[in-house]
Amino acid sequence: MTGRVIIIGGGVAGMQTAITLDELGFKPVIIEKEASLGGKLCRWDRLFPTMTPAQEVLGDLLKRVEKTASEVRTSTTVSEIEEQGRGVTLSDGSRLDAEAVVVASGFDIFPAERKEEYGYGLYDNVYTTVDVERMFREGGVRMADGREPKTVAFLHCVGSRDEKVNQRHCSRVCCITGVKQAIEVKQQIPGAEIFSFYMDMRMFGPGYEELYRQAQQQYNIHFVRGRISEASPTIDHRIHIKAEDTLIGRPLRMSVDMLILAVGMQAGSSNVAFGRNNNIDLYPSGFLRPLNQFSGNVRSSSPRLFYAGTVTAPKNIGESINEGIAAAYQVAQTLNAAKS
Amino acid sequence: MEHFRLFVLPFYAGAFFLLITLLCKYIYWFIGLSREQKRLFWRSLPTRATWKSVVEIFNESLLHRKIWRTNPLLGYMHTSFALGWFLLISVGWLETFVYFKGESVPLYVDIFFSYYVHPIFERNFNFSLIKDALLLLILVGVVLALFKRLYSRIMGMKRTTKHMLGDRVALTALWLIFPARLLAESLTSAEVWRFGGYVWTLSENTQLIPPGIGCGSFLTGSLGQWLADFLPARIIEAQHVELTAWWIYSIALGVFFVALPFSRYMHIFTEIPLIFLRNAGLRAAEKESSFDHFQVDACSRCGICIDPCQLQSGAGIQGVQSVYFLRDRRYGRLTDAVADNCLMCGRCQQACPVGIEQNTLRLNSRVKRAYPDSPNRYAYIQGKDLSTGEGKVGYFAGCMTLLTPKILRAMEQIFTAAGEEVWWADKNGGVCCGRPLKLSGEVDAARKMMDFNKNLFRQHGITTLVTSCPICLKVFKEDYALEGIEVLHHSEYLQRLLAEGRLKLRSGSETFTYHDPCELGRGSGIYEAPREVIAALGVLKEPAETREHALCCGSSLANTAIDDEGQRRIGEQVAMALAATGADSIVTACPLCKKGIAREATLPVYDLAEIVARAL
Amino acid sequence: MTTWGYSISRPRSIDIDRNDMSYSQELLREYPELQTCIACGNCTATCTAANLTSFSLRKVHTLVRRGEYQGMAEELEKCMLCGKCRLACPRGINTRQIVLTLKKHLVNRSR
């Protein structure tokens, strides 16, 4: 018994899994493809719905991981997970032996270039919500020429609920992210007019609906029910957008200084390789399918293969952290039962 | 009438029925041709076209050269039936002619020659040997045909046609004809072998054949000898056994002839007038015409069109391919579900051994089924001019290009770099070119859009019209009649700019693979221009199926029936084929192809304009 | 002229009790995809015809689904069938087929 448990991915779910496993007396090994731990959280500025600085949550997790006896291998990827979860093959070809494997490799951000009609990467001043977080961390939202935007349009569901890019699922957290960022832009630039184009607002978490209401009432964000069909540049380098105001039933045209695309979560690109393992099943969306969606959310069909976080579906940070704890306890249960 | 036997009657009845039916059909169809079509036909006689037709009939109706090219075994099968039977009949006529020294004998003596004459080798030139050899050739073909039903893949066909009742009756009769003939001739030979016989002539002096010689050659003669040795004498003696075999042969012939005009075997004869008419310059058109009957009935339902069809190979859609479309149309049971479910990519037309104009026929069926136009339709487009800019060169982006702004942006950069003054027809939206509507059969409505756009082009005084959409290109070229305005696809325009030295591009070692859009390649015959442009930028890696054989992206506007999943699966099929080239990126020259392929592609997908703009 | 279902003589509300829903059900049986619309309005936003005249495919087919057929065939006449909406539809609905099918059905019905 080595007690070694491999955790693939050092984002919030992976870090929490390591912390709990350490508490339970196991030896976690985190394999992280980036140079440092933290996953996508590193790119965020403030978190919905409480506006808590991302750094607070991240710093706390990092500190706690630090205190454990966890081994952390950064800039390393896993190319193959062994059938029964007794080890993995790393990108350098070496094999790492383990008692169990927890897959916490997370999601990928939908590449907005794939929705060519919105002109991301083609026109100035078309950004994604991920870019906006970076801008906030760097001091605030600015247009390409350095000025503050006076009119901003948010477009929800970019790369979510869109069969044309093979993304049928709802990414859940982009709605509230869009609302949060709209408020933040308004806080930064009180004179800005902000239009939010949505199909449905899915405010599933505690405090989300309240934030949405705040955005409407306190920050005067204009919510327009309709999906933008295309964006084009105007002569004065603004962005001309076309949508249907579906509540009125008439086409709507407007020019904005900035278009922000609320990009969704897509399945991690490594899932396909993991799926070569017969005990790992994929949803059509590419996310990993857990044993069941009720009592087996962190389990696979192999007793030594576990999941945590957004590798199985889009989730928020709290949910991902909870799954890290749940996965760690399930690992402990399985390994302790095997020991006795 | 002393030699008359009742068994010849089924043959007579069948042959008579066939002759009358064919004559009625062909004459009726010919009368239905327009005056212009008839004039074309009469004028083509006798010209070089007539000779060309004769050669083509020999090559395609008898030799089936195109099918040999698809697969040699399949080719053999078709040749054995067509050429083999043709020669068997010809040799038979010749033999009768030689035998009776040109004197006229009843037709049944000719057809059932072996029964009547008991030909033996000593008498004259060895026709029996030739006839036996030909019969063997055909019998091998029959075996192959049976084999094809079971294992079509060996014959180079993954799927074969599913046939209907009339076809099955005709097919069974056809397959029965030759074994029945073998049996009948062999039994006659067996009888002669055992008991002797006489050689029948017109005059009184019949030649007696002693027992132990038999008649026929290596096939029927040998089989006859074998039967004579092994069958009990009383069976051979009882003439009804031999007669029964001849009855079967005659009935098989009769049934086949009666079933022929209602079955796929109608193609055997119909291909002949079709070739003459086609070489005279007759073509199918936007509206159904009597000429279409010749094409529809010339389809042999060989099913060669099924395999190239990506609806089948990519999306798993069955029963809509050209063979089924023509069948349903011929028997008047065409449904929208079949008529509309076609990408009109032209791959089947490319493969069709009979050269049937699949796309045009499909289109005119849709026109016939279309919803009628109303006079005020599209009145709202009048006076709507959203164009911008001024210049002798007009650029028509097309509806789809507005959803692929990278192409638009690239074209802007290219025009600027080339110093071209451009009139932008529809950058802010415009009126559709009309082709999508036309492809759905609503040609009169489409005409309104065409007239509108044509007027717009004239008003702005352009002399060159560039479009990056092959769908628009095709309709501009074929239906707009833009005298004085040169219509160019952007690939041709870019090729010209490069040739004139108006664009200086950075060339590199990047590898590209190119996808031929259907409307640009097979549709408009433009294959070289995009390839030349790519060659100026990097290295081109051709996919396995390219140019005339290129795959379709699946997003074709011609198919209004296919669902999203079907489109996606075909797109995936193409993306995989292109990725297999190992190129760095995929290049195409159509906004729809770009979107359709990019959906499933593992490689980046660019329009030709994008890679040119990038290298400026 | 299109009546657009708003003439004075007709009730203002969509009366599902009185509308001939069986016909709408029949259409939906033939074309179940119609029911998957999430009313995002992308088809109308991108529509080549809607750029030039009042036409909303989303509105037309929603009205048909509610059993409101009057004037719909005339509305559908405005469509140019260019296919932009199909390329844009996030639900992957075969919008062109819907235009053709509805038009054919509604015209046959009014005859």
Does C87 sit within 8 Å of B592, measured CB to CB?
yes
CA distance A142 to A116: 23
CA distance B254 to B248: 10
> Is residue B27 assigned to a domain?
no
Residue pair C37/C62 in contact (Cβ under 8 Å)? The answer is yes
Q: Do A4-106+268-339 and A112-265 agree at the fold level? A: yes
User: Where does a domain end: B369, B389, B406?
Assistant: B369
Q: Which residue of B has its CA nearest to A113?
A: B406
The pLDDT, as a whole number, for residue A66 is 95
* Domain boundaries, given as residue ranges, for chain C: 21-110
Profile chain B (616 residues) by mean pLDDT over runs of 10 residues.
79 95 96 94 88 90 87 88 92 86 82 81 72 93 86 74 82 92 91 79 69 84 88 78 91 95 93 94 94 95 93 94 95 93 95 94 94 88 93 96 96 96 94 96 94 96 97 96 96 97 93 97 97 96 96 95 95 97 97 95 96 95
Residues B120 and B246 in one domain: yes
Q: In angstroms, what CA-CA distances link A330 with A26, A255, B430?
A: 12, 53, 61
Quick one: DSSP state of residue A225? E
Residues of C in contact with A225 (CB under 8 A): 41
> Is residue B6 assigned to a domain?
no
The pLDDT, as a whole number, for residue B211 is 81
What value of ipTM does the predicted structure carry?
0.92
Q: Which residue of B has its CA nearest to A234?
A: B428
Residues B489 and B510 in one domain: no
- Say if residue B460 is exposed, middle or buried (CB neighbours under 10 Å; 0-12, 13-18, 19+): middle
Residues of A in contact with C50 (CB under 8 A): 244, 251
Percentages helix, strand, coil for chain A (3-state, rounded to 5) are: 30, 25, 40
The pLDDT, as a whole number, for residue C4 is 57
As given in the structure block, the two tokens for residue B323 are: 């063979």
What CATH architecture does domain C21-110 belong to?
Orthogonal Bundle (1.10)
The pLDDT, as a whole number, for residue A272 is 94
* A331 Cβ contact list (under 8 Å, min separation 6): A5, A17, A21, A26, A100, A102, A306
User: CB pairs below 8 Å between A and B: how many?
Assistant: 27
Residue pair B320/B337 in contact (Cβ under 8 Å)? The answer is yes
**Alpha carbon of B375: minimum distance to chain C alpha carbons (Å):** 11
Q: How many domains, in total, are found in chain B?
A: 4
Q: Which residue of C has its CA nearest to B380?
A: C53
Categorize the per-residue pLDDT at C10 as very low, low, confident or very high, splitting at 50, 70 and 90. Answer: low
Q: Where in the sequence is the domain holding B100, given as residue range(s)?
A: 64-263
Residues B167 and B243 in one domain: yes
Residue whose C-alpha is closest to residue B559's, from C37, A166, C83: C83
Low-confidence ranges of chain A (pLDDT < 50): none
Residues B321 and B283 in one domain: yes
Query: Does B590 touch chain C if contact means CB atoms closer than 8 Å?
Result: no
**Alpha carbon of C105: minimum distance to chain A alpha carbons (Å):** 24
CA distance B232 to B220: 19
Sheet hosting strand A78-81, strand order edge to edge: A78-81, A87-90, A95-97
Q: In angstroms, what CA-CA distances link B527 with A82, B310, B493?
A: 49, 21, 14
Say whether pLDDT at C8 is over 70: no
Does B403 sit within 8 Å of C87, measured CB to CB?
yes
Q: Which residue of C has its CA nearest to A243?
A: C45
The pLDDT, as a whole number, for residue C111 is 59
- Three-state DSSP at B393 gives strand
Residues B516 and B484 in one domain: no
User: Where does a domain end: B341, B369, B397?
Assistant: B369
The pLDDT, as a whole number, for residue C5 is 55
The pLDDT, as a whole number, for residue B353 is 92
Q: At what angle do helices B127-150 and B72-79 cross, to 10 degrees?
A: 130
The pLDDT, as a whole number, for residue B29 is 96
Residues B461 and B478 in one domain: yes
* B474 Cβ contact list (under 8 Å, min separation 6): B435, B519, B523, B524
Listed as own residue / partner, the contacts of B23-30 with beta carbons closer than 8 Å and 24 or more positions apart are: B25/B261, B25/B293, B25/B297, B26/B273, B29/B290, B29/B291, B29/B293, B29/B294, B30/B273, B30/B290
Q: In angstroms, what CA-CA distances link A72 with A16, A30, B89, B502, B562?
A: 13, 5, 87, 58, 51
- Three-state DSSP at B417 gives helix
The pLDDT, as a whole number, for residue C107 is 80
Out of B403, B409, B600, whose CB is closest to A230?
B403
CA distance B444 to B376: 12
Q: Could you read off the pLDDT of A6-49 as tens digits, one per residue?
A: 999 999 999 999 999 999 999 999 999 999 999 999 999 999 99
Residues B80 and B187 in one domain: yes
Task: Label each residue of C71-93 as H, E or C.
Answer: CHHHHHCCCCCCCHHHHHCCCCC
Residues B433 and B522 in one domain: no
Q: Which residue of C has its CA nearest to B561?
A: C97
> Is residue B525 assigned to a domain?
yes
Does C89 sit within 8 Å of A251, measured CB to CB?
no
The pLDDT, as a whole number, for residue B1 is 37
* Domain boundaries, given as residue ranges, for chain A: 4-106+268-339, 112-265
Q: In angstroms, what CA-CA distances link B390 with B98, B222, B425, B453, C46?
A: 82, 88, 10, 16, 26
Q: Which residue of B has its CA nearest to A165?
A: B599
CA distance B374 to B366: 17
Residue whose C-alpha is closest to residue A113's, from A102, A124, A103, A122: A122
Residues of C in contact with B400 (CB under 8 A): 82-84, 87
Kind and range of the H or E run holding C60: helix C57-65
As given in the structure block, the two tokens for residue B381 are: 């487009």
The pLDDT, as a whole number, for residue C1 is 47
Which fold is adopted by the domain A112-265? FAD/NAD(P)-binding domain (3.50.50)
Positive or negative torsion for Cα C80, C82, C83, C87: negative
Evaluate whether the domain defined by A4-106+268-339 bears CATH number 3.20.20.80: no
> Is residue B9 assigned to a domain?
no
Residues B519 and B473 in one domain: no
Residue whose C-alpha is closest to residue A227's, from A191, A196, A263, A258: A196
pTM (two decimals) = 0.90
Residues B327 and B238 in one domain: no
Out of C80, C82, C104, whose CB is closest to B371?
C104
Give the total residue count for chain B: 616
**Alpha carbon of B242: minimum distance to chain C alpha carbons (Å):** 60
As given in the structure block, the two tokens for residue A259 are: 């278009």
Residues B356 and B387 in one domain: no
As given in the structure block, the two tokens for residue B260 are: 């022929």
The pLDDT, as a whole number, for residue A19 is 98
Out of C80, C81, C87, whose CB is closest to B595?
C87
Out of A117, A164, A230, whose CB is closest to B599?
A164
Does A116 sit within 8 Å of B402, measured CB to CB?
no
Q: Could you read off the pLDDT of A110-158 as tens digits, one per residue?
A: 999 999 999 999 999 999 999 999 999 999 999 999 999 999 999 999 9
For every residue of A323-340, DSSP letters joined together read HHHHHHHHHHHHHHHHH-
**Alpha carbon of C6: minimum distance to chain A alpha carbons (Å):** 14
